[in-house]
Structure 1
Amino acid sequence: MRAPVRWVLWDVKDTLLKVRSSVGEQYCDEAKRMGLSLSPVEVDAAFRQAYRHHSSTFPNYGIAQGLDGQSWWKAVVKATFSQCKVCDPALLNTMALNLYQNFSNAENWEVFPDTKAALESCSSLGLHLGVVSNFDNRLEAILRGCGLLFHFSFLVTSEGAGVEKPNAAIFDQALLKCGVPAASVAHVGDHYVNDYLTSRSVGIHGFLLDRKSHFDRHDIPKEHRLSSLDELPARLKRHIDEC
């Protein structure tokens, strides 16, 4: 007999919530407050380049190199604006700190319409909920501000764990907190490798959230695919009833 699912682990960004407006727009709003006029398109492109560079050079917020989430993100912001010809070190530092703090606020994040009902439905099935996210230590404040934190028994962030998806060790840390075998745990996320393949590699029941049908892959069974979080509670209930 299969083990019944007792826990559901959740990815956060682009699964439960998303950035409300583009990074370029939000960075330009901050620059405008400092008296600068920049192009959101140009800033967006600069951000993508800075983000890729820092993610490659200092993976997982540079934890292994002695950095932390705040210093890592401030470096990304400074590199972004520097590419846009902003050179004043004091100004760069002020904008970097302001933006780091701004992205801790719920105003900069949008909760998906299907999120709260899915979390409530899973809890009503008697399931415990936790988070496994490649996120920095601001996540608790963000989830609290968005009215979601109380749903979760624990949060495992990559900054806090010292390891990030797709390293399966981050799921091992979450399983220790669950206190049940992997076969009694499900995970929901929007990334094929980080969320779906990695969770399943340790025996967790991985579900891939694909709201826009981006993943045209034959190796994902239909029952592992979600086009909306609204579909999840019924899938889990069937699993519980079958056990």
Structure 2
Amino acid sequence: MRPTPAGNGRGVMRAPLRWVLWDVKDTLLKVRASVGEQYCKEAERMGLKLSPVEVEAAFRQTYRHQSKKFPNYGISQGLDGQSWWMEVVRGTFSKCRVQDPALLNTMAQNLYHNFCNAENWEVFSDSEMALQRCSSLGLKLGVVSNFDRRLEEILRVCGLLSYFSFLITSEEAGTAKPSPVIFDLALQKCGVPAACVAHIGDHYEKDYVASRSVGIQGFLLDRHNTYGNSDVPIEHRLCSLEELPSRLQQHMN
């Protein structure tokens, strides 16, 4: 029987910690500019003048529709991350009255590849220190992320890739958090019982609840105190990644 999210289970907490799994987006780094601004910058390069507010609204609508129709980049329906995202870009600009198919394809292609540039990402100020300190404790680090295959390049250009022994993205795994399957794949790579693994992420259901449902020691990163009145025990909740290494150290022996 799997433990409940808030349960700490004494047997689980006594297991010596060996691995830390990490969410990436909004945990270690975030998009620097809004999607509306990024898309408008590309449109401007093509001679188009669009409103970032209008483009942002169009993107959100298109993204929701695409996510519902083709979850996890449509992998189970024969798509891949690039074709999925290009359709989102084309759909966004189409809602903003851009109709030229060749132009839509060019902008979609450019935006897909430009997203890998370091200038589009901001690494949180506490990220690298936390990764360094966890590594210095002798813990091995891996990534479990609902992201497409560009994640490895993004982590590389942001200077974070070398900290990780492996990366699992939902595109490559064919399954996304909160499915336990993606965590089971990570546990296979770790080669240790779930109780010897921690996971840190910013999403209550996809990171915290999902990791704890398979017996992993899940921690919720709550930078904005969103979950202060929730059922997440205070010892499972972090306001900053600076708190993580000392919290993990308590579970290493």
Q: Which TM-score bucket, shorter chain as reference?
A: over 0.9
Partners of 2:228 and 2:132 in 1: CA distance: 30
How far the C-alpha of 1:106 sits from its partner, in A, is 1.3
Aligned position for 1:172: 184
Aligned position for 2:220: 208
Q: How does 1:13-24 map to 2 (within 5 A)?
A: 13-24=25-36
Query: What CA deviation, in whole Å up to 9, does each residue of 1:202-226 have, x standing for no partner?
Result: 0000000010111244310000000
Partners of 2:78 and 2:64 in 1: CA distance: 19
Aligned position for 2:126: 114
1:199 maps to which of 211, 225, 232: 211
Query: What CA deviation, in whole Å up to 9, does each residue of 1:5-40 have, x standing for no partner?
Result: 100000000000000100000000000000000000
> Is 1:27 aligned to residue 39 of structure 2?
yes
Q: How does 1:117-156 map to 2 (within 5 A)?
A: 117-156=129-168
Partners of 2:221 and 2:112 in 1: CA distance: 28
Greater alpha carbon shift after TM alignment, 65-74 vs 209-218: 209-218
2:251 match: secondary structure: helix
> Is 1:40 aligned to residue 80 of structure 2?
no
Counterpart of 1:27 in structure 2: which amino acid?
Y
How far the C-alpha of 1:128 sits from its partner, in A, is 0.1
Query: What CA deviation, in whole Å up to 9, does each residue of 1:160-212 have, x standing for no partner?
Result: 00000111100000000000000000000000000000000000000000101
Q: RMSD between aligned alpha carbons?
A: 0.8
Counterpart of 1:8 in structure 2: which amino acid?
V
> Is 1:71 aligned to residue 71 of structure 2?
no
* Identical counterparts, % of pairs: 73
Partners of 1:106 and 1:206 in 2: CA distance: 29
Structure 1 residue ranges, 4+ long, deviating more than 6 angstroms after superposition = none
1:54 match: secondary structure: helix
Query: What CA deviation, in whole Å up to 9, does each residue of 1:75-114 have, x standing for no partner?
Result: 0000000000000000000000000001011111110000
Counterpart of 1:167 in structure 2: which amino acid?
S
Structure 2: unaligned runs, 5 residues or longer: 1-10
How far the C-alpha of 1:60 sits from its partner, in A, is 0.4
Structure 1: unaligned runs, 5 residues or longer: none
1:90 maps to which of 102, 114, 139: 102
Counterpart of 2:35 in structure 1: which amino acid?
V
Greater alpha carbon shift after TM alignment, 59-68 vs 217-226: 217-226
Change (3 A) 1:217 1:170: farther
Partners of 2:170 and 2:164 in 1: CA distance: 17
Aligned position for 2:195: 183
1:211 match: secondary structure: coil
